[in-house]
Every structure is written in C-alpha cells, then in structure tokens.
Amino acid sequence: MIHAPVGRRTVGKTTLADFLCSTCDYQARFSPRITLPQRGIPLRDMWKGGSANAERAIMEALNTQQCITLVPDEDVDGQFSRFIQTIRRWYQEHEAECIAQKKQLGVLIDEARFPAVSQSSDLDWLFRCTPRDLVHVYLTVHRPKDLDPDIRAVVDHWYVFHVTQPRDLDVISEECLPVA
C-alpha cells in the first residue's frame, strides 16, 4: 500500500508516517534530514565504508526485524537508489515467508521529492508487484506536485495536512473524490 502524507513543514506528516511504519514487522527508513526519532540502527556513517557495508547492514537489520534508518550524505539520489534496490532484493528473497506469515514491510521515504524516487524501477516494483496488505511505502512531501504523476496515480492513501496553495488544491481535487 502506498501512503502519501502531504503538507507544510512541522505539521506532523513525518511523525505520522514514522508511526505507521513502526507498526510493520520489518522497517526501513530513508531520510535526507536527521529529524526522524531514533529507533533501531542509524546508518548515517555506513556509506563511508562503501555501499557493500551499507547493503549488508540493511539486510542484517531486516533479517533481525530491527528498524534501520539511512541518512545519506551529499549523494542522496545514488544512496537512495542503492537503498531501495537492497530493500527490493531483501523482499524478493523473503517474499514467500512474508506472505505465509503475513509479515509486513514498512518503507519510509522522507522528503520524497528528489529525482531518484520517480526514476527508480525498484521502487516502482515495490508499488506494483508486491501484496498491498504486506508492503507499505510512506512518501512524505510538502506538495502533491512533489510526487511524479506516475506515483500519484498509484497512491492508495493521501494524508493531507493544511494545504493552501491554489495549484496544490487543484492537484488534490483532481486526485480525490469531491468529498475531500
């Protein structure tokens, strides 16, 4: 299931996404900011040892059901690409087990407006090729237009926090039922 909390800064969208992610059995978080609450294993400096070390740490954390958080350095897009590729590989290796035991994977991508999100075939695979009830992806953004239209088209749940820009309201009205 794809969740998109949208809204201005400091309104609680990341807090909500993190709470929802924390209810999943397996948790991986990617945030260009250091604002996520400390849970599990932080990966801030892991990339300095090379991407193989980081990938190994992600796999190990997921295998032991520990929350893992990656805070990238300057190469946000490159590190996100390796992060989400590792998540996909882990899920493919454990898919049968997750389905049989109904174990949920939560992936939080904070500030998801960077280019690698819309360009990732691995993220697209998680959106389209995994069971909706077992894989939850949380994408926080400030404005609906921060998400690529192809991603907006498959979002299952929008959480809208105080949006006032006319163009943002137009996008929301295009994507939602009139009752919203």
Domain for residue 120, yes or no? yes
In a domain, 64, yes or no: yes
Asked if residue 180 is part of any domain, the answer here is no
pLDDT at 97: 96
158 within domain boundaries: yes
The CA-to-CA distance between both ends of the chain, in Å, stands at 20
Distance CA 16, CA 66 (A): 19
Identify the H or E element spanning 173: helix 166-175
Phi, psi of 26 (to 5 degrees): -115, 135
Domains: count for the chain: 1
Which value, to the nearest 10 degrees, does the dihedral of the CA atoms of residues 20, 26, 29, 34 take?
A: 80
The answer as to whether 32 is a domain residue is: yes
Q: How far, CA to CA in Å, does 169 sit from each of 129, 141, 160, 161?
A: 30, 14, 10, 12
161, part of any domain = yes
Residues 180, 144: Cα–Cα separation, whole Å: 14
- Domain assignment present for residue 80? The answer is yes
Rounded distance, CA 3 to CA 24, Å?
Answer: 14
Region of residue 128 (left: phi > 0; alpha: psi -120 to 50; beta: else): alpha
Q: For the domain that residue 124 is a member of, what is the CATH number?
A: 3.40.50.300
Question: Is the pLDDT score of 47 beyond 60?
Answer: no
**Which residue, 130, 137, 158, is CA-closest to 27?**
137
In tens, the pLDDT along 78-130 reads 999 999 999 999 999 999 999 999 999 999 999 999 999 999 999 999 999 99
- Confidence at residue 32, expressed as pLDDT on a 0 to 100 scale: 83
Q: Where are the alpha helices (DSSP H) in 5-158?
A: 13-22, 51-63, 76-101, 115-119, 121-129, 149-152
Q: If DSSP codes are grouped into helix, strand and coil, which group holds residue 66?
A: coil
Range of the domain at 163: 2-175
pLDDT in tens, 127-174: 999 999 999 999 999 988 899 999 999 999 988 876 666 766 676 677
- Ramachandran region of residue 50, left (φ > 0), alpha (ψ -120 to 50) or beta? left
Rounded average pLDDT over 5-13: 83
